[in-house]
């Protein structure tokens, strides 16, 4: 039985304690997991989230949002320190909720794109690797994994492919550091989406699903049965989480190039996406 999840981004941005009313409708659709995108930890009372999750009967997992001032690979020391503190907060949240991971492109700021010189790239990689190592140790003590997300070339110049990610994981060298893979980004960057999934065998901690236009899974050109089989071959046992975006996502609309709605409504995207993924991954 594969758990099917939904990102809070489908309905709300930023998520806060005031939007805990989202958990019950997500459960009623059928979702097993509600993945909170933590844009601002200060507006989330994690104890209330845990209480509501238990009442509703849904798992709550943690994903991060990484802007310029949370860049652990930045040349600006203050930004690196902010990023480290933020990720530690996410790890604490994950521990409190029983989330097995903190996910996201935590190695750099989303939108940091340029043709870096070899010296710049080496320095950025060193900062990122050293800080991920320290964060991995912190997370391991709390039984939390770090799931790094390769992004497409328009959102980062640091890690676009599984192959690049594996090189970075080898540099880091911690078993609790692996991948969040996302069908949208992989469709842009990978020569073979299913080949890349298999290449990441044993290292996938989270999986984001959406259409090639970032909309409803199934309304696309993907071979989802092949994706299912590739995930099975890659020994992935975690949730398949729909990550799409509400039209009201003003704060990061530019980062995700959200210029138009991806469905008639967030609820329709969630219902149709859940029905499709549940059929693909769980119908026998």
Is the separation of the CB atoms in 153 and 188 below 8 Å?
yes
Among residues 39, 52, 189, 243, which one is catalytic?
A: 243
User: How far is C-alpha 115 from the chain's CA centre?
Assistant: 25
177-182/204-209 β-pairing: parallel
Strand, coil or helix: what is 179? strand
User: How far is C-alpha 15 from the chain's CA centre?
Assistant: 15
Is the separation of the CB atoms in 55 and 27 below 8 Å?
no
Asked if 68 is an active-site residue, the reply is no
Instruction: Say which residues have a Cβ less than 8 Å from residue 163's Cβ, sequence separation at least 6.
Output: 196, 199
Asked if 47 is an active-site residue, the reply is no
Among residues 149, 155, 189, 190, which one is catalytic?
A: 149
**Residue 196 in tokens:** 């890349």
Q: How many CA atoms lie within 13 A of 17 on its CB side?
A: 11
With the C-alpha atoms ordered 12, 214, 257, 259, is the resulting torsion angle positive or negative?
negative
By annotation, the residues acting in catalysis are: 149, 243
């Amino acid at each position: 039985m594969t758990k099917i999840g939904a990102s809070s981004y489908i309905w709300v941005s930023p998520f806060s304690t005031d939007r805990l009313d989202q958990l019950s409708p997500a459960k009623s659709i059928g979702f097993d997991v509600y993945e909170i995108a933590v844009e601002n930890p200060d507006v989330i009372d994690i104890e209330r989230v845990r209480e509501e999750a238990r009442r509703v009967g849904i798992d709550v997992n943690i994903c991060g949002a990484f802007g310029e001032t949370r860049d652990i690979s930045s040349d600006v020391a203050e930004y690196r320190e902010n990023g480290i503190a933020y990720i530690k907060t996410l790890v604490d949240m994950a521990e409190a909720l029983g989330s097995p991971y903190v996910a996201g492109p935590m190695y750099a700021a989303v939108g940091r794109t340029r043709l870096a010189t070899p010296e710049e790239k080496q320095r950025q990689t060193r900062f990122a690797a050293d800080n991920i190592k320290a964060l991995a140790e912190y997370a391991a003590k709390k039984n939390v994994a770090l799931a790094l997300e390769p992004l497409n070339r328009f959102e980062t110049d640091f890690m676009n492919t599984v192959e690049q990610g594996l090189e970075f994981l080898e540099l880091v060298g911690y078993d609790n550091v692996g991948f969040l893979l996302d069908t949208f980004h992989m469709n842009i960057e990978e020569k073979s989406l299913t080949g890349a999934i298999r290449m990441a065998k044993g290292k996938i901690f989270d999986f984001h699903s959406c259409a090639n236009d970032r909309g409803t899974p199934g309304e696309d050109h993907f071979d989802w049965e092949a994706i299912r089989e590739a995930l099975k071959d890659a020994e992935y046992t975690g949730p398949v989480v729909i990550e799409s975006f509400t039209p009201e996502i003003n704060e990061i609309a530019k980062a995700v190039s959200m210029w138009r709605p991806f469905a008639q409504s967030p609820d329709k995207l969630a219902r149709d996406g859940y029905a499709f993924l549940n059929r693909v991954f769980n119908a026998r």
